[in-house]
Copies of this chain bind each other. A is one copy, B any other.
Amino acid sequence: MKKRITLKDIAKNFNVSIATVSKALKDSHEISPNTKSKIKEYAKLHHYKPNVTALNLLNKNTKTIGVVIPNIMNTFFAKVFMGIEHIASQKGYQLVSCISNESYEKEVKTIDLLKHGHLDGIIISLAEETQVKQNVTHLKNTLNEGVPMVMFDRVSDELECDKVIVNDLEGAYHATCHLIKSGCKKVALVSVIDNLSVGKLRVEGYKKALTTFNIPIEERLIVRIGHHEDFDTVMKIILADKSIDGLLCLEESAAVNVLHLVKRMTYKIPEELSIACFTNGKLLQHLSPSISAISQHGKYIGETAAKMLIDRIENEDLPKPCETKIIKTSLIERESTKQF
């Protein structure tokens, strides 16, 4: 990269000191108007830009936020990212972004890299593997070192920091209630994310809804499918029970797969089988039939997280207790559930 012009270069050109140049460019009153304009003009002509690295070293802040996201192909995370980006750029922060790819090891490496990088704070959602391992010492250390951190969606109780989460329990509760109220007699739940904190909470919400309607909870109807199991096979077995007429899917891919399957099985949707699903992406919207979804307001979550972090960074002197913001979900009714 071509050497950029520095204060020193400008100073040399005019035979003045570096300090004079610095002050002149800052429009300081202690510099004569004459010198000021000379210097400014020269600086502009030569595209002078202060060296941010030097300023960072001086100020001990970098106006940079590290963002760790499990998977950017996931609509929800992409939306959150947009939200973070929106606020960050508005407040003059840059984003150093890392994709953990759901891997514990990559997450640890990433955090290490980020800590090296002297950034002002971190926004993170845990990798799936990290939630399975339940090992968050890398983050605990980060926190201990005083790095401001905000977690979102996939959080850990062991970490004492600001958090932004969705009311997963309530979201599942409302969706299940909706299925029941629309006439479903037997609602099953399909989860491929039982590893995740949010997955567990959603199951709770489902159970709560059944209880509300005095429907006995049948563990058999809570279908947890692991990564290495064949989705269709497991589902066919459970759907052998023809009295199942409602399905709560805990994330997009489950709903998509289920839909393909039951269409092949010539189910009538929503009459014979109603489906509701977490995460509101384009996919659910455009399938036929379109699938009723629980929107988690990803962009808003990202914006909230970014605001919380920046607030903490810029007000470190007045420490506040950690806060957990809970974002309400909303149910978007589509063709896969019955009107009532």
Interface residues of A (CB under 8 A from B): 1-2, 4, 47, 49-54, 56-57, 60, 62, 64, 72-73, 75, 78-79, 81-82, 85, 89, 92, 94-99, 106, 109-110, 113-118, 120, 141, 145-148, 256, 260, 263, 282-283, 286-288, 316
Contact of A79 among B47, B73, B288, B316 (CB under 8 A): B73
Contacts A116-B52, A283-B286, A288-B288 given; does A73 touch B78 at CB 8 Å:
yes
Task: For A282, list chain B residues within 8 Å (CB).
Answer: 256, 283
B288 touching A263, Cβ below 8 Å: yes
What are 20 A-B contacts defined by CB distance under 8 Å?
Answer: A1-B120, A2-B145, A49-B116, A51-B57, A52-B116, A52-B117, A53-B53, A53-B56, A53-B57, A64-B96, A85-B98, A85-B99, A89-B109, A89-B110, A92-B113, A95-B96, A260-B286, A283-B286, A286-B287, A287-B288
**Are A73 and B75 neighbours in the complex by a CB distance under 8 Å?**
yes
Top 5 closest pairs, chain A to chain B, by CB = A2-B146, A97-B97, A53-B56, A53-B57, A1-B146
Taking a contact as CB atoms under 8 Å apart, the answer to whether B94 and A49 are in contact is no
Known: A1-B146, A120-B1. A72 touches B82 (CB 8 A): yes
Q: How far is the CA of A64 from the CA of B52 in the complex (A)?
A: 13
Quick check: B287 and A49 within 8 Å, CB to CB? no
Given contacts A53-B57, A263-B288, 16 further A-B contacts (CB under 8 A): A1-B120, A1-B147, A2-B145, A47-B141, A73-B79, A73-B82, A78-B78, A89-B98, A89-B106, A92-B113, A94-B113, A94-B114, A94-B117, A283-B286, A287-B287, A287-B288
Does A78 contact B72, Cβ atoms closer than 8 Å? yes
